[in-house]
Structure 1
Amino acid sequence: MKRTRPERRQGPALVRGQLVTDSTHDQRLLDRQGPADWVHMDPWRVLRIQAEFVEGFGQLAELPTAVTVFGSARTPDDSPEYKTGVELGLKLAKAGYAVITGGGPGAMEAANKGASDAGGISVGLGIELPFEQRMNDYVDLGIEFRYFFVRKTMFVKYSCGFIALPGGFGTLDELFEALTLVQTHKVTSFPVVLMGSRFWGGLIEWIKGSLLATGKISAHDLDLIQITDDVDEAVNIIVESEHNRSKRREEELEAVASQTAEPQ
């Protein structure tokens, strides 16, 4: 005997059996007295995610070439690390770059402050957290995101390089995401600079002694990371990388033009 189960089409989906609800999405949407839990359903989240991408792309598309600076939100404003962040933001802005941070306090605030003091464009890409963290006062353009992965896309898409000041899990997350993207050629000509050899030195030694020594990475993967204590050197790494990328782009365009040119 053929098994009979209730079924309903919901857009492109077909649901049967216990997955068929007593009401439709339209009913729940139009019922003003109904529950509001529909806003937490995955299909609706897709639209919210889409909206975050659209908003981020729209707000950031016309930025000048930018550099993203990461670092701890817990960096005290009277610390040497904070001072380095201010100097870094200032010199990046003077070199013609917009400065993007996570928009929070600490090292992020320092880089935004430096960029703002230099008259540059200071951007903060915030994230919704379970604890309160307001956008710092030195941000000219601030965008708050619900989803980390949307925010990460904005960091990469609108930056020509990353500079990491000393930081915690969040900084490490962004650092290794960037390194993975560069290693796998998802992004190219993308420098990753670590500021502070004393802070980052142990991590570099671990990478060499554990990852490289056991064959988990290749020797040339170490070249993806550059470490310095000098702000001018960090900025010069970014400038040189951008110059080389522009030069390669021009050469590629010239090659294409020469191949497509009609014979004389």
Structure 2
Amino acid sequence: MRTEITTVEALREHRAAGQDLRDAVLVGLDLTGEDDLLRTALDGAVLLGCELSGKSRRKAEAAGALLFPDIPALPYRVYRTTLYTPAELFDGFDPARPESYADTPDARIYGHSKAQGRTPDPLHALAERLHDHSITSALGEVLAACGLPPVAVMGGHALKRDSPGYLAAMRLGAALGRAGFTVLTGGGPGAMEAVPYGVRMPDHIEELHADLAKAPKFGSDAAGIGQWLAAGLAPDLPDTEPLTIGIPTWFYGHEPPNPACHWHAKYFANSVREDGLLTVATAGVVYTPGSAGTVQEVFQDYTQNHYTSVGPAAPMVFLDKDFWTTDVPAAPLVQQLARGRDAEEWILVTDDVDEAVALLRKYSAT
């Protein structure tokens, strides 16, 4: 197992403990004045985006270390070691100037990715894949550190803040938070935003809903997104557990990430993002009404449960009976496929949030 080192301080501690750097992975370190730290065995070491003196570079190469240089002129860090915070993604945004959203890292990264077209050149394709690998690694570390079972909530981005469905999603988030789950969503607007607001402000849902309803949906340009964002940033959200983690994508970059989550694991590749979100939701998934994207996630999730390809079959909760059995009858098909299999026990179609949470808690207890 490789040892990953992401700060110079951690590297000093590693070396002070008498450890060499065989098979270590050093990520994004400025080592130009730290030649002494590299005076050890380096065979098998991997240096990702590290800055080295000429002397240390020659020594590392001669020792057989692998050096991956940083890629210049990108609006994002290729070798990240942490997830994004809303503050990082929206850095430079001025609520008094909604159009300033165009100057944020989130908007600039989306613009850069969109400019590459459907088939980026090899350099940019490689940069995006390396970035996404780093995000997956950072997400795993966050989930392991928080220790609470992760439940994902899926739902449509088009749900307006002034709608009864948005308020219902906030209440669902409050119930999941009170039950002690880490709550994951797709990280965008609509239901993906309402749920983390409910997790973080469970005792102020009605008043928060009324305030957010003043900017009910995001617009199609920077100013329209900025007005939506300004209202979303206005609440003073407590920085406490349970954690809420959004997993959005710049593939759908016209949908801004929400400001309600503690962290965002934002990807370039939507396929990696969708499969990854379902895979890390090891305590189950709750499906609120959505459109084609949500339905796609239903069957991606069930496929994992059907074949137990990523672990034991986990709960699939369809919240809103009429929607999932009549309007979009995905639930009966999933139930039919699950008959006689381990997954059957953990499929629930309900209108009752308490019943949904009870099933999730029962599963986590087993």
After TM superposition, the score normalised by the length of structure 1 is 0.68
Residues 145 and 230 of structure 1, relative CA distance in 2, 3 Å threshold: same
1:60-71 pair list within 5 angstroms: 60-63=143-146, 64-71=148-155
1:23-42 pair list within 5 angstroms: 37-41=121-125
1:173 corresponding residue in structure 2? 296
1:191 corresponding residue in structure 2? 315
2:186 corresponding residue in structure 1? 102
1:126 corresponding residue in structure 2? 248
Secondary structure (helix, strand or coil) at the match of 1:88 reads helix
Letter of the 1:195 partner, please give it.
L
Residues 211 and 47 of structure 1, relative CA distance in 2, 3 Å threshold: same
- CA deviations on 1:145-180 (whole Å, 9 max, x unpaired) are 112233222442243100010011121121111111
The answer to whether structure 1 residue 240 and structure 2 residue 335 are counterparts is no
- Whichever structure has more strand as a proportion of its residues is 1
Matches of 2:178 and 2:264 in 1, distance apart?
A: 21
Pairwise CA distance, 1:57: 2.2
Which deviates more from structure 2 when the two are superposed, residues 222-231 or residues 78-87? 222-231
Letter of the 2:324 partner, please give it.
W
Cα RMSD over matched residues? 2.9
1:56 corresponding residue in structure 2? 139
Secondary structure (helix, strand or coil) at the match of 2:247 reads strand
Segments of structure 2 that go 5 or more residues without pairing to the other structure are 1-68, 73-119, 203-239
Is 2:323–2:329's contact at 8 Å kept on the other side of the alignment? no
Secondary structure (helix, strand or coil) at the match of 1:135 reads coil
Secondary structure (helix, strand or coil) at the match of 2:261 reads coil
Letter of the 1:229 partner, please give it.
D
Residues 123 and 76 of structure 1, relative CA distance in 2, 3 Å threshold: same
Is 1:122–1:141's contact at 8 Å kept on the other side of the alignment? yes
Pairwise CA distance, 1:185: 1.4
Letter of the 2:189 partner, please give it.
P
1:6-25 pair list within 5 angstroms: none
Residues 218 and 137 of structure 1, relative CA distance in 2, 3 Å threshold: closer
Is 1:81–1:165's contact at 8 Å kept on the other side of the alignment? no
Is 1:189–1:241's contact at 8 Å kept on the other side of the alignment? no
Matches of 1:230 and 1:73 in 2, distance apart?
A: 22
Matches of 2:264 and 2:187 in 1, distance apart?
A: 7
Letter of the 2:145 partner, please give it.
E
1:161 corresponding residue in structure 2? 284
Matches of 1:67 and 1:185 in 2, distance apart?
A: 17
Shift >4 Å, 4+ stretches = 43-46, 205-208
Residues 176 and 50 of structure 1, relative CA distance in 2, 3 Å threshold: same
- CA deviations on 1:169-217 (whole Å, 9 max, x unpaired) are 1211211111111111123141000100111112448845x995xxxx4
Matches of 1:178 and 1:206 in 2, distance apart?
A: 12
Pairwise CA distance, 1:238: 0.2
After TM superposition, the score normalised by the length of structure 2 is 0.51
Letter of the 1:90 partner, please give it.
A
Letter of the 1:169 partner, please give it.
A
Residues 44 and 237 of structure 1, relative CA distance in 2, 3 Å threshold: same
The answer to whether structure 1 residue 219 and structure 2 residue 219 are counterparts is no
Is 2:149–2:282's contact at 8 Å kept on the other side of the alignment? yes
The answer to whether structure 1 residue 47 and structure 2 residue 130 are counterparts is yes
2:234 corresponding residue in structure 1? none
Which deviates more from structure 2 when the two are superposed, residues 148-157 or residues 85-94? 148-157
Is 2:324–2:331's contact at 8 Å kept on the other side of the alignment? no
Larger Cα Rg: Structure 1 or Structure 2? 1
The answer to whether structure 1 residue 182 and structure 2 residue 266 are counterparts is no
Segments of structure 1 that go 5 or more residues without pairing to the other structure are 1-28, 245-264
Percentage identity across paired residues of the two chains: 26
Secondary structure (helix, strand or coil) at the match of 2:189 reads coil
Pairwise CA distance, 1:137: 2.0
Residues 242 and 53 of structure 1, relative CA distance in 2, 3 Å threshold: same
Q: How many residues align?
A: 206
Residues 201 and 51 of structure 1, relative CA distance in 2, 3 Å threshold: same
